[in-house]
Amino acid sequence: MNSGASEALLARASAVIPGGVNSPVRAFRAVGGTPRFMASGKGAWLTDVDGNRYVDLICSWGPMILGHAHPDVLQAVNDAAAQGFSFGTPSQNEVALAEEIVARIEPVDQVRLVNSGTEATMSAIRLARGFTQRDVIVKFAGCYHGHVDALLASAGSGVATFALPDSAGVPRSSAGETIVLPYNDLAAVEAVFAERGQQIAAVITEAAPGNMGVVPPAAGFTEGLRRVTRDHGALLISDEVMTGFRCSRSGFYGLEGPYAAGPADLFTFGKVMGGGFPTAAFGGSREVMALLAPAGPVYQAGTLSGNPVASAAGLATLRGCTDEVYARLDAAARAIADGVSEALTAASVPHTVQWAGSMFSIFFREGPVRDYDDAKTQDVDAFRRFFHAMLERGVHLPPSSFEAWFVSAAHDDDAVSHVLAALPAAARAAATPD
């Protein structure tokens, strides 16, 4: 495939944008080569600036659950934009979107709309600290909650150590209020609470992690987190920015909950709820949310929060997420994942497939992946070869072996067949070292 126009755009972008991209994973650093600059998207397909077409298995990292340029969402956006782009005042659309979210997630009484998943998690952390009057946060290695200073931290030596920053520019003091534990290790959580429980404001966890690849919680893990946090007066924050409204009508909570020990205190949402526009939310019980300004002392604000055009896109998307849509997602994802597994098996490439609803990951290693250490043992070079072979055959995968794959309701038989036809050659490429 010709990529000359993308190469030229990357050169232009690199002069005015650090690394030539506005989010690091887009740079193809994990797989090498030139990122494709997209010109348009329709249904399950992307078209780049060179005119190449691809079946899209990124779906804007999750939001395009109905497919690109869905007519109902497009109409809602056009109608809202015709009335004005932003008012700086309350508007009807934001109320309707908030009502739709609350109706779908039973434990959530109230939500606050924000502009990004990062802002949602940052605000939820602040609210948890304000509610508990404590400072320490517990997170899990391999779980990504946005580029919040306190959460850009890696684990140190041992099972439960205070963390050091994982990014330049993050003060040690910010990361030092974060404890990083291995995911799916409830004993480690219990141990750290036994030692520091009176200091811990909250545990934040992805409902089903998708940022180290899809690593679902082990049976009883989420329930255990709820029990431990409740017993020590800490809050539990369930990050459903990625899984929310994609895994089911009620996100991953709709698949795994309700829990005997009770729901999380706070939830964060993004991606699908914005339909491709920059909007997100955090919410929880009325008791906790009452501390937010202007009702309470925990300050949070945003000029574009609840933007009427973004809210219209999100509302149209959520209303379009019917039972039939979720059934189509499941069928398309299963057909593609089974096809990948069959092709890799035929080429003798070690791999394992893991799921969270219709989200899935292909790990290029043997055996189940339970945590970040497991995920890091996969053969990233085999994935790199597989990725480029698929790209050359018109299938755009996430450009990292540590990401989830996404389908949309627009991934019809034609799109799925195109993916399946590309797999045998890509599997052989994965099996053949450079």
Q: Which are the contacts of 425, defined by CB distance < 8 A and separation ≥ 6?
A: 389, 393
Give percent above pLDDT 90 in the chain: 91
Q: What is the mean pLDDT of the chain?
A: 94
β-pair type (395-396, 200-206)? unpaired
Catalytic residues: 144, 239, 271
Q: Which are the contacts of 244, defined by CB distance < 8 A and separation ≥ 6?
A: 207, 251, 252, 267, 268, 269, 270, 271, 272, 273
Q: Which are the contacts of 216, defined by CB distance < 8 A and separation ≥ 6?
A: 208, 209, 354, 355, 356
Q: The tokens of 237 are what?
A: 């924050």
Residue 395 has φ and ψ, to the nearest 5°, of -130, 120
- The CA-atom distances, in angstroms, between 31 and each of 20, 116, 337, 404, 429 are 16, 27, 21, 15, 14
Q: Provide the pLDDT for residue 162.
A: 39
Alpha-carbon span 169 to 3, nearest angstrom: 35
What 149-153 contacts at long range (C-beta under 8 Å, 24+ apart), as own/partner pairs, is 149/174, 149/175, 150/125, 150/174, 150/175, 150/177, 150/178, 151/121, 151/125, 151/178, 151/204, 153/178, 153/180
- What are 165's strand-pairing partners? 153
Q: Provide the pLDDT for residue 153.
A: 67
DSSP 138-160: EEETT----S-GGG-EE--SSSS
Q: Provide the pLDDT for residue 196.
A: 95
Q: Give the single-character DSSP code of 279.
A: -
Confidence bin at 172 (pLDDT 50/70/90): confident
Q: Provide the pLDDT for residue 166.
A: 61
pLDDT in tens, 83-113: 999 999 999 999 999 999 999 999 999 999 9
Q: Which are the contacts of 129, defined by CB distance < 8 A and separation ≥ 6?
A: 135, 137, 201, 202
H or E segment and range at residue 206: strand 200-206
The yes-or-no verdict on residue 156 having pLDDT over 70 is: no
The yes-or-no verdict on residue 3 having pLDDT over 90 is: yes
Residue entry with tokens 């998690």: 121
Alpha-carbon span 425 to 427, nearest angstrom: 5
Mean pLDDT on 300-320: 97
Alpha-carbon span 283 to 77, nearest angstrom: 25
Q: What is the dihedral of CA 330, 322, 403, 22, to 10 degrees?
A: 150
The yes-or-no verdict on residue 171 having pLDDT over 80 is: no
Alpha helices by DSSP H, 59-185 = 71-82, 92-104, 117-132, 172-175
Q: Provide the pLDDT for residue 168.
A: 74
pLDDT in tens, 242-279: 999 999 999 999 999 999 999 999 999 999 999 999 99
Q: Provide the pLDDT for residue 24.
A: 87
Residue type, 38: M
Q: Provide the pLDDT for residue 379.
A: 97
pTM of the model: 0.94
162-167-168 Cα angle (round to 5): 115
Q: Provide the pLDDT for residue 229.
A: 98
For the chain, percent helix, then strand, then coil, each to nearest 5? 40, 15, 40
Residue 360 has φ and ψ, to the nearest 5°, of -150, 160
- The CA-atom distances, in angstroms, between 98 and each of 73, 315, 400 are 17, 9, 33
Residue type, 60: S
Lay out the sheet containing 235-240: strands in order across.
110-114, 280-284, 266-269, 235-240, 200-206, 136-140, 178-181, 161-162
25-63-301 Cα angle (round to 5): 90
